[in-house]
């Protein structure tokens, strides 16, 4: 049983680092988004501070090619012109972009690797939560591999083959191993085991708008 959705949204985005740039050229900016910072602004003016706004203060033409959840940290790419945005957007849409995440989850997973295939949909009574929905959900696949076992906690490398909202968080919850510190999907000891969501976008590779393949790595901070 998940905790009730909070009635208010407490938003205290990290100030340091204000903007962590991994790479930049005339077409793209690659960033290391900290946990706790929105990718895009919310409707409430109190939610205006976000990665997009911070980047546009330096590169006014910047536009997001994809997003990360507020509490997820790691690699995110923005584009500096329409041509680049269209190209990188297609890299994600056509699943040519390759990305991996690292997560620490509650419990000992039995196997060393596997694939989760469960359709996902919005949990309308508890929005923005998502849920497994075998009748109306969109097909969703996640590959996982054990990196290390840590005394009742398992560190995983995750490869999302699809890009559904909260996909990794819901898939891991559904197999009985919620991500530590997940305020939406973890409860009890799993929630209390970390002071932030233990999910990090560590690697990202895609074809650059100029045609060549690029790879980026931001080491996991936990």
Q: Which residues have a catalytic role annotated?
A: 69
Contacts with 53 (C-beta within 8 Å, 6 or more apart), sequence order: 41
Please name which of 100, 107, 69, 8 lies closest in space to residue 196, comparing C-alpha atoms.
69
Q: Which two tokens stand for residue 84?
A: 């680049």
| Bridge partner residues of 30 (DSSP) | 23, 77
Contact in structure between 72 and 181 (CB atoms under 8 Å): no
- How many whole angstroms separate alpha carbon 15 and alpha carbon 145? 33
* Cβ-proximal residues to 148 (8 Å cutoff; 6+ apart), any chain: 154, 155
Distance CA 84, CA 62 (A): 10
Q: Which helix (H) or strand (E) holds 52?
A: helix 51-56
Query: Are β-strands 130-132 and 120-122 bridged in parallel, bridged antiparallel, or unpaired?
Result: antiparallel
């Amino acid at each position: 049983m998940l905790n009730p959705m909070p009635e208010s949204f407490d938003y205290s985005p990290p100030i340091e680092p204000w903007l962590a740039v991994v790479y930049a050229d005339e077409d793209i900016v690659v960033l290391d988004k900290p946990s706790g910072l929105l990718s895009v602004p919310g409707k409430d003016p109190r939610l205006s501070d976000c990665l997009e706004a911070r980047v546009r203060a330096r590169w006014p033409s910047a536009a997001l090619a994809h997003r990360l959840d507020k509490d997820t940290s790691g690699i995110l790419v923005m584009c500096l012109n329409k041509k680049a945005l269209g190209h990188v957007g297609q890299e994600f849409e056509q699943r040519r972009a390759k990305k991996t995440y690292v997560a620490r989850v509650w419990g000992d997973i039995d196997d060393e690797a596997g694939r989760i295939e469960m359709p996902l949909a919005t949990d309308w009574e508890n929005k923005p939560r998502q849920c497994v929905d075998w009748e109306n959900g969109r097909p969703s696949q996640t590959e996982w591999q054990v990196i290390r076992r840590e005394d009742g906690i398992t560190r995983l490398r995750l490869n999302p083959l699809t890009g559904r909202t909260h996909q990794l968080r819901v898939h891991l919850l559904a197999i009985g191993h919620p991500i530590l510190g997940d305020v939406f999907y973890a409860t009890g000891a799993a929630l209390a085991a970390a002071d932030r969501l233990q999910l990090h976008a560590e690697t990202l590779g895609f074809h650059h708008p100029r045609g060549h393949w690029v790879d980026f790595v931001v080491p996991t901070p936990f």
